[in-house]
């Protein structure tokens, strides 16, 4: 990395994730919890629906455990 290039992770506002399987949906959940605009791309509508359900379940569990408002 060049000295004149400044990296600022707080500048990231949008995240794109390719694949919403176990790892992708987990990454999506963490990004959503961090307040980032998150898009998950999947190969089919049914796969996208499963990924969305996995993220929704994970967020619901976080609320139940008091880790998310």
How far is residue 55's CA from residue 50's CA, in Å, rounded to a whole number? 9
User: Beta-carbon neighbour count of residue 2 at 10 Å?
Assistant: 5
* pTM, to two decimals: 0.80
How far is residue 38's CA from residue 28's CA, in Å, rounded to a whole number? 7
pLDDT of res. 53: 97
**Successive 10-residue mean pLDDT values, the chain, 69 residues:** 62 94 97 95 97 97 92
User: Beta-carbon neighbour count of residue 53 at 10 Å?
Assistant: 12
Reported as half-sphere exposure (CB side, CA atoms, 13 A), residue 37 has a value of 4
How far is residue 29's CA from residue 54's CA, in Å, rounded to a whole number? 9
pLDDT of res. 69: 83
């Amino acid at each position: 990395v060049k000295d004149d290039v400044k990296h600022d992770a707080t500048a990231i506002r949008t995240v794109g994730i390719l694949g919403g399987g176990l790892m992708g949906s987990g990454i999506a959940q963490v990004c959503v919890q961090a307040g980032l605009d998150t898009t998950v791309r999947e190969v089919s509508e049914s796969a996208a629906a499963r990924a969305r359900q996995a993220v929704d379940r994970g967020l619901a569990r976080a609320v139940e455990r008091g880790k998310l408002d």
